[in-house]
Amino acid sequence: MSAIPLTNAQLFSAAPSIFAKMPIEGVSNQYAFVPTFSVLDTFRSAGYYPIMAGETKARNKDNIGYQKHIIQFRSLDNLLRPDAQEGYADIVLTNSHNRTSSFIVDLAYFRIVCANMLVVPSHTFSHHSIVHAGFNLSKVDTAIKEVTSYMPRMQQEIEKFKSIELSQLEQHSLAKAAVDIRFDREIHDVDPSELLKVQRQEDESASLWTIFNRVQEAIIRGGVKGNNRATGRPFTSKPITAIDANLKLNKELFSTVQMMADLKTPSRLMVA
């Protein structure tokens, strides 16, 4: 993660697949190649600059240089004031050149204190999946405008999370749901309290927002201890580094937290 915009050379160093000049061999004539590097200036012109990039590890050598990749963009306003807020609304772009992904633009929130990126699910705010067939840059412009239009709503949702206090039972229930999202309960025996450990002073409160961040950090960064039910041996979870798994876990957890928030709103608690 960079505090200043990344140059194209830095992006290439982090994820060479961004700069593929042709798709993987064997794609059909219907496949319209969308070189990711061609849209970088579209984002920059819209006031969003790349600050992070990565790509999946290619298991097949034929996929090297074409695999799925991710770029995180931040607005110029926020880049000019890097410590002015607790976190920032960013745009996340994923794409591939091997037919495994369409061109996807998501809304995300990056929390400064723990360097956690929370990606929101498509049914909540905005998510643009642009198929390669019939692709043009105007569709990217539209995606950027729509995603950024939802940023105030996302901030309102976060403020709601901050205003909700969770009891010990509710914290445990949320952590248990996160265990189900992250682990196969038939194989892995994990105490939900493992996900509730406080890593820093800023995360000591019992707000839904704080508990959300504790749990999210635990399942994404790893270090969660448990036991293998089949062997009885202890294990420690590894960080989630795969792009698809990271985005999937983030979105499922965000949806679960929203459900908890809905259950805690006064209108839900009123007796008919």
Tell me, yes or no, whether 99 lies in a domain: yes
Structurally, the chain folds into a number of domains equal to 2
Give the amino acid at 149: S
- Name 155's Cβ contacts closer than 8 Å, sequence gap at least 6: 89
Q: Which phi and psi (to 5°) does residue 20 adopt?
A: -60, 135
What does each C-alpha distance from 187 to 49, 184, 220, 266 come to in angstroms?
A: 42, 6, 19, 38
Quick one: tokens of 224? 């969660």
DSSP character for 194?
Answer: G
- Looking at the fold, whether 196 and 118 belong to one and the same domain comes out as no
- Looking at the fold, whether 145 and 29 belong to one and the same domain comes out as yes
| Percentage with pLDDT > 90 across the chain | 48
Which of the pair, 176 or 88, is modelled with greater confidence?
A: 176
Confidence of residue 267 (pLDDT cuts 50, 70, 90): low
Contact 135, 269 (CB under 8 A): no
- Looking at the fold, whether 68 and 105 belong to one and the same domain comes out as yes
- Looking at the fold, whether 113 and 190 belong to one and the same domain comes out as no
Give SS3 for 17: helix
Tell me, yes or no, whether 183 lies in a domain: yes
* Contacts by 256-262, CB closer than 8 A, 24 or more apart: 256/174, 256/177, 256/178, 256/181, 257/161, 257/174, 257/208, 257/212, 258/124, 258/157, 260/164, 260/166, 260/170, 260/173, 260/174, 260/208, 261/157, 261/160, 261/161, 261/164, 261/208
Tell me, yes or no, whether 73 lies in a domain: yes
Tell me, yes or no, whether 43 lies in a domain: yes
- Looking at the fold, whether 222 and 248 belong to one and the same domain comes out as yes
- Looking at the fold, whether 76 and 141 belong to one and the same domain comes out as yes
Interval 64-72 mean pLDDT: 85
Confidence of residue 65 (pLDDT cuts 50, 70, 90): confident
- Looking at the fold, whether 174 and 107 belong to one and the same domain comes out as no
- Looking at the fold, whether 81 and 139 belong to one and the same domain comes out as yes
Tens digits of per-residue pLDDT, 73-94? 999 998 988 776 778 889 999 9
Interval 62-66 mean pLDDT: 73
- Looking at the fold, whether 145 and 31 belong to one and the same domain comes out as yes
DSSP character for 35?
Answer: -
**What per-residue string of b and e applies to 72-107 under the rule 16 or more CB within 10 Å gives b?**
bbbbeebbeeeeeeebbbbbbbbbbbbeebbbbbbb
Q: Which of 123, 151, 179 is the last residue of a domain?
A: 151
The number of C-alpha atoms within 13 Å of 49 and in the hemisphere containing its C-beta is 17
- Looking at the fold, whether 13 and 130 belong to one and the same domain comes out as yes
pLDDT at 236 over 80: yes
Q: Which of 151, 183, 198 is the last residue of a domain?
A: 151
DSSP character for 246?
Answer: H
Confidence of residue 272 (pLDDT cuts 50, 70, 90): very low
Interval 243-255 mean pLDDT: 90
Tell me, yes or no, whether 157 lies in a domain: no
Q: Which of 118, 151, 184 is the last residue of a domain?
A: 151
Element (H, E) at 235: strand 234-236
Tell me, yes or no, whether 18 lies in a domain: yes
Which residue range(s) make up the domain with 111? 8-151
Tens digits of per-residue pLDDT, 90-147? 999 998 877 667 788 888 888 876 566 777 765 555 555 665 555 667 788 888 888 8
Tell me, yes or no, whether 3 lies in a domain: no
Residue bearing tokens 């607790």:
86
Give the amino acid at 74: R
- Looking at the fold, whether 15 and 86 belong to one and the same domain comes out as yes
| Percentage with pLDDT > 70 across the chain | 83
Cα 84–259–177 angle (5° rounding)?
A: 95
Measure the CA–CA gap between 43 and 25, rounded to whole angstroms: 28
Measure the CA–CA gap between 154 and 24, rounded to whole angstroms: 37
- Looking at the fold, whether 187 and 143 belong to one and the same domain comes out as no
pLDDT at 24 over 70: no
Tell me, yes or no, whether 270 lies in a domain: no
DSSP character for 96?
Answer: -
